[in-house]
Amino acid sequence: MAQEPRRDDGGGPQDDCLFCKIVAGHIPATLVRESDTTVAFRDINPQAPTHILLIPRVHYPDAATLAAAEPAVAADLLRAAGEIAGEEKLESYRIVFNTGSGAGQTVFHAHAHLLGGRGMQWPPG
Ligand code: AMP
Ligand code: ZN
């Protein structure tokens, strides 16, 4: 396969990023859907009966940075989350963007958690 073009304007693949490796197909994942701009796959350590991660193909460290740089891709991510929630028959669900290690972010490639299929507490822990 052709080498990804190098992007110096942000968004280019990072060698040490787990989710860039999933986007590239170098690490396997249980894919739920793919588009030109996003990839969705099941979380390896699910916290609810449905726990799906949605990531942009481009690399940005968190959701707000993605939205500032490539708002159309951020919108694609949210639209896909809603469509998948429908496919998973979730009447209620939560979309979570952990941002910063203090909030539980462990992978610094923007991602949405789509969680559903059980009751949930508010506020979250
Ligand atoms: P966060 O803690 O918000 O950064 O979310 C990272 C998520 O990635 C966690 O819920 C992990 O369980 C999940 N995760 C880590 N490695 C993998 C993997 N190889 N495949 C699927 N999910 C993963
Ligand atoms: Zn990445």
User: Average pLDDT over the chain, rounded to whole?
Assistant: 94
Inform me whether the pLDDT recorded for 23 exceeds 90.
yes
**Average pLDDT estimate for 96-116:** 98
Cα-based distances in Å from 91 to 36, 82, 95, 100 = 27, 11, 13, 29
Tokens, residue 72: 């159309």
Domains and CATH numbers, the chain: 18-116 (3.30.428.10)
Phi, psi angles (nearest 5°) of residue 59: -95, 115
> Tens digit of pLDDT for each residue in 25-83?
999 999 999 999 999 999 999 999 999 999 999 999 999 999 999 999 999 999 999 99
pTM value is 0.94
* Nearest listed ligand to the Cα of residue 14: 2
Question: pLDDT class for 9, splitting at 50, 70, 90?
Answer: low
Cα-based distances in Å from 115 to 6, 76, 85, 119, 120 = 34, 18, 9, 10, 9
Which of the residues 51, 59, 109, 111 is marked catalytic? Answer: 111
3-state secondary structure of 74: helix
Compute, in angstroms, the gap from residue 58 CA to the centroid of ligand 2.
7
111 is catalytic: yes
